[in-house]
Amino acid sequence: MLQSSISGLVSGGVYAAIGVCIVLLYSMVGVLNFAQAAIGVAGAYVTFLLYGEDQPLVLAVLAGVVVAAAVATLTGMAMALWFGEARVEVRSTASIAVLIGILAVGFWVFGDDARATPDVLPASGPEIAGVVIPGTAIGAIVFAVLLAGGVTLLLKRTVVGVRLRAIAQRPRTAELLGIPARRLSVAVWALSGAAACIAILLVAPSRTASVSSLSLLVVPALAAGLIGGFSSLWLTVLGGLLIGLLEGAIVTVEGIAPYRGSISFLVIVLVLLYSQRKEAWDASR
């Protein structure tokens, strides 16, 4: 039980990192981005391609991150252009279209051939309770924590952060005060895309490297974001790690093990029930 829980931490770290990106975008730009993981995957596949062509790993990773940031930037610009005034539901739905688009193109271009995914960090690592913790797992957790910490600092301690918060809370007022709202929100998109790409690169070696399965990592990440109420970055990190641990632990429990893929959904339902516990159902109808 302990062993497989620990092995679940790799995934947990990545759920947390992608979850942080989602929460960041949601609170700053007002989009629940279903394509968050897929945008990272788009960049990660550029890395795989370049690495497969014997390019140096550093270069391949850099190119991947840049491409992911570019895809996110384009998405952000399209969002601002076409859905600038739309409600958050509409914008989030538009992100589903982006997800489906990336899935379709990815499938078409990369198919389902076996490919080697490079280890961004060393595959070997310390042994805890008889489980070798891959460098990527530690990297994923550290990355999630750094990302959450970095974003928190940025928002609280810098002028850019103050402006971002202003845009998030009073978009029109902020714009009237001369804050370049559109440019800043596109920058948030670019940052989230780059971060998602790094997260995907960290998890890819331990997962089936296919466009669809990596893109759908967004589901547990959304569950992590929900635990954080789509506002708290730290709770999101905790939530991601918790889901990873649970997924790992449940493998050893006979009977329910085959249902481990549904844990994210169970978490989503439970959090929703808990957060809505004071709602009178009749009133909210």
Partner 1 sequence: MRLLSRSTRLLAIPAVAVVLAACGNSAAGGGGGGDTDGPIELGAVSSLSGPVAFADPTGAAQAVFDRVNEDGGINGREINYTVVDDRGDPSAAAQASRQLIDEQDVVANVGSASLVDCSANAATYQRQGLVSVQGLGVDPACFSSPNISPVNTGPFSGYTSLLYFASETLGHDRVCAVILTVPGLTEGYEAAVERWSEITGKEPVFVDTSLTVSDDPTPAVLRAQAEGCQAVTFNSNPPQTVTVMKAAQTQGALETIDWIALTVSYNSEILEAFAANNSWGLYVNSEFEPWSGESEALQDWRTLMEENDIPQGSDSLAGYVAATIMVDVLEGIEGDITRESVTQAFKELEPVETELIGSPYTFGDADSHNPNQASKIVQAQPEGWVTVSEDWQRLPE
Question: Which are the contacts of 201, defined by CB distance < 8 A and separation ≥ 6?
Answer: 40, 44, 47, 61, 64, 120
CB proximity list for 74: less than 8 A, separation 6 or greater: none
Question: What minimum distance in Å lies between the beta carbon of 283 and partner 1?
Answer: 40
The β-bridge partners of 128 are 131
Task: Tell me if 58 contacts partner 1 by CB under 8 A.
Answer: no
Tell whether residue 124 is a contact of partner 1 (CB under 8 A): yes
Element (H, E) at 132: strand 131-132
Q: Which is nearer to partner 1, 123 or 272 (CB)?
A: 123
182 binds partner 1 (CB under 8 A): no
What value, to the nearest 5°, has the Cα angle with vertex 247 and ends 245 and 248?
A: 65
Tell me the DSSP string of 51-62: HHTT--HHHHHH
Under rule CB under 8 A, how many of the chain's residues touch partner 1? 38
Interface region with partner 1, contact rule CB under 8 A, candidates 1-9, 67-75, 149-157, 222-230: 1-9
Task: Let me know: does 211 contact 106? Beta carbons within 8 Å.
Answer: yes
Residue 129 CB, shortest distance to partner 1, in Å, is 10
Nearest CB to partner 1, comparing residues 168 and 245: 245
When the beta carbons of 114 and 283 are compared against partner 1, the nearer one is 114
Query: Of the two residues 84 and 111, which places its CB atom closer to partner 1 in the complex?
Result: 111
Judged by CB under 8 A, the residue of 121, 179, 248, 263 near partner 1 is 248
Does 250 bind partner 1 (CB under 8 A)? Our answer is yes
HEC string of 2-48 equals HHHHHHHHHHHHHHHHHHHHHHHHHHHHCCCCCCHHHHHHHHHHHHH
Member of 88, 90, 123, 153 binding partner 1 (CB under 8 A): 123
Total length of the chain:
285
Distance in angstroms between the alpha carbons of the first and the last residue of the chain: 43
The stretch near partner 1 (CB under 8 A) out of 32-40, 189-197, 222-230, 250-258 is 250-258
Q: Which residues bind partner 1 (CB under 8 A)?
A: 3-4, 7-8, 10-11, 107, 111-116, 118, 123-124, 130-132, 134, 203, 205-210, 212-213, 216, 248, 250-252, 257-258, 260-261
